[in-house]
A and B are shown apart, each in its own frame.
Chain A
Amino acid sequence: MTPAGEQVRDPGERVRDPGLQPERTRLAWRRTTLSCTVAAVLAGRAALHQGPTVPGVLACALCLLLWLGFLAVAHRRMVALSACGPRTLSLGTARAAALCTLAFAVCAAAMVF
């Protein structure tokens, strides 16, 4: 973290954040989409593993939709992060990402059960 004096300067003068915070945050989103992809692959495997049943395939399709939703949320946020001095994450985005995760778990429970 830089000393507090850093932010008092003229914003136009600040060429680049020395801590690479937006970059690190972008990579954190990327890692999270990768985790989501692993979960989606396991969901696909679960659907095929026990022989494709109608509820299983439906739950798996829902998982894939949620995965796409998560990717869309992450993509929008990563685009926003590429701006200079990016805005704070919005509550809506945070909720959307968490809801995708939550719904994923519910679908997983339906597939496992």
Chain B
Amino acid sequence: MWFAPERIREEGDTPDYRFSLANERTFLAWLRTALALIGGGFAVDQFLPDLRWAWRIGLALALLAAGVLCSLRAVNHWVRCERAMRRGDDLPTSRFPVLLGLAVAVVALAMVVVVLFGWEG
């Protein structure tokens, strides 16, 4: 999906542009999620300075990795939705939102535990 040279505009029929714009807004919402996760990675690193190094870096890298996955998935999902609309197929389903939610919940719980029990360096 990412590196395929094919052009989406040449496939199927052009859908009503308003649906394409709605798809674009969904794409942007995912990019914002990615940027927020990246901001969260910076925040963990800067605002929890008393944490043990391994915990701090681990939590920050987990959030940054989630940001990378979100931005990759944003493009992939946008292309799949656009293609489905052009071909008149059903919109693609995805487990990604559930997985992301679970991953963020795990990171948040880890932070609460680490801060509460004060595993300082």
For residue B25, which residues in chain A have a CB less than 8 angstroms away from its CB? 24-25, 28
A21, B35: Cβ atoms under 8 Å? no
- Measured CB to CB, the nearest residue on chain B to A29 is B28
For residue B42, which residues in chain A have a CB less than 8 angstroms away from its CB? 39, 42-43, 45-46, 108, 111-112
Partner of B75, one of A1, A29, A98: A98
- How many residues on the B side are at the interface (Cβ–Cβ under 8 A)? 42
A88, B18: Cβ atoms under 8 Å? no
Task: Name A's interface SS.
Answer: helix
Identify 13 residue pairs between A and B in the complex whose beta-carbon atoms are under 8 Å apart, listed by A's number.
A19-B18, A24-B21, A38-B35, A39-B39, A46-B45, A88-B14, A89-B27, A94-B75, A94-B79, A105-B65, A108-B42, A109-B41, A113-B57
Q: Which residues of A contact B (CB under 8 A)?
A: 1, 7, 17, 19, 21-22, 24-25, 28-29, 31-32, 35-36, 38-39, 42-43, 45-46, 49, 85-91, 94-95, 97-98, 101-102, 104-106, 108-109, 111-113
